[in-house]
Amino acid sequence: MSLQAQQLYRSRTVSIHDVRCRPECRHRGEEEYSSGHHVVFPRSGVFLKQVAGREFIADPNHVLFFNKAEPYRVAHPVGGGDDCTVFVFRPDLLQEVISLHQPQIVERPDRPFDFTHTLSSQQVCFCQQRLRQCLLTGIQNGLMADELSLDLLAAVMRQSYRDRTIAAGRRRPATRQAHREQAERTCLLLAERFAENLGLEEIAHAVHSSAFHLARVFRRETGLAIHQYRHRLRLRHALECLVEKQTDLTALALNLGFASHSHFSEVFRRAFGVAPSECRQRANSGWFRETSKNLKAGHLTAA
């Protein structure tokens, strides 16, 4: 497996790294151990992470949590590998943020994360990418980078614990497991083929379900409708391309399944509060302050 890491930023508060993984095969790899308490933002590609015998899909709609020394395995069922940005916070700051939702964290500082992953909101995805863009372009306002990183952490943990307050209801454990696996299969299909205009019947047939059953199960398991999940994948891929300075917006829009450049611009602005052309250009200290306020207030849509 080819693994490359680039440090984007380091302070006493947080270190931020880009990690590029290009596996030699798609099968599950050897057991690995996390070197620290990591908050990981997948930006492109998809992989399976297995922890304590359970597998889940990791794609750009998710944020992942790794406890230090936690054993895990990774597989890449879709070719191409993955690209992620990793945040490593000072342990006492991490504990302070999580304790707002889980006071018992003080009793087990070696295992701060209760969960392996969570869905990320549009606000969180956008702000993480814009912070990364600023760091890549050489803007090194350390105070603002530290503050925005902590704002991201707070937003992610708030989302994670809020999602877990939704009860599983009265379904039997076997039924819950079957529904979870069906939703995971659907996530994997969408992560691999998000640019295609697949219909509900096609998706349901591919995961061996009826359209009605899958639509209900997927929304209950993920909190999103199937079309919303695919929509987020498309927009996050577009955001990644814009940060990497892709310039042909019309080609990008059509390649991602949007009807036109104008349609793409409209939904991108609605999701992230800025047009694609502006997003590609704006990376400055003034933007940092605006982004931090939007993240806290939730001004960006979660569609």
Q: Which two tokens stand for residue 193?
A: 């083929």
* pLDDT for position 244: 79
Beta strands in 11-112 (DSSP E): 14-22, 32-33, 38-45, 47-51, 54-58, 62-66, 71-75, 82-89
Domain boundaries for CATH 2.60.120.810 within the chain: 2-163
Is the model's pTM score more than 0.85?
A: yes
Compute φ and ψ for 57, nearest 5 degrees: -80, 135
Is residue 187 a contact partner of residue 223, using CB atoms and an 8 Å limit? no
Domain boundaries for CATH 1.10.10.60 within the chain: 173-297
Q: Is 56 exposed, middle or buried (0-12, 13-18, 19+ CB in 10 A)?
A: middle
* pLDDT for position 227: 95
* pLDDT for position 167: 43
Give the SS3 label for residue 88: strand
* Residues in the chain where the model's pLDDT stays below 50: 167-168, 301-302
* pLDDT for position 287: 59
Q: Provide the 10 A C-beta neighbour count for residue 265.
A: 17
* pLDDT for position 23: 87
Looking up tokens 């998000």 gives: 194
- Superfamily of domain covering 173-297: Homeodomain-like (1.10.10.60)
Q: Do the strands 32-33 and 71-75 form a parallel or antiparallel pair, or are they unpaired? A: antiparallel
Is residue 37 a contact partner of residue 100, using CB atoms and an 8 Å limit? no
* pLDDT for position 185: 95
Q: Do the strands 32-33 and 2-10 form a parallel or antiparallel pair, or are they unpaired? A: unpaired
Residue 298, phi-psi category: left (phi > 0), alpha (psi -120 to 50), beta (remainder): left
Residues in the chain: 303
- Give the CATH number of domain 2-163: 2.60.120.810
Give the SS3 label for residue 159: helix
